[in-house]
Amino acid sequence: MYIKPPKFVRRIFPSLVWEMPPSEEVYLTFDDGPTPGVTEMILEQLAKYGAKATFFVGGCWADDNGELLLKILEDGHELGSHGYFHRDHAKLNESQNREEMTATDNLIRRLTGYDVKLFAPPSGSYSATTLKVAESMGYKTIMWSKDTIDWRDKDIKTIINRATKDVCGGDMILMHPKKHTLEALPRILDYYEKGGLTAVTVSECIKNGAG
Q: To 10 degrees, the CA torsion angle through 173, 201, 67, 125? A: -50
Percent of the chain whose pLDDT exceeds 90: 82
Q: pTM of the prediction?
A: 0.91
Give the Cα separation of 90 and 110 in Å (integer).
27
Confidence category of residue 23, pLDDT binned at 50, 70, 90: confident
Cβ–Cβ under 8 Å, residues 27 and 200: yes
Q: pLDDT tens, 93-120?
A: 999 999 999 999 999 999 999 999 999 9
Q: What positions carry a catalytic annotation?
A: 31, 176
Confidence category of residue 2, pLDDT binned at 50, 70, 90: very low
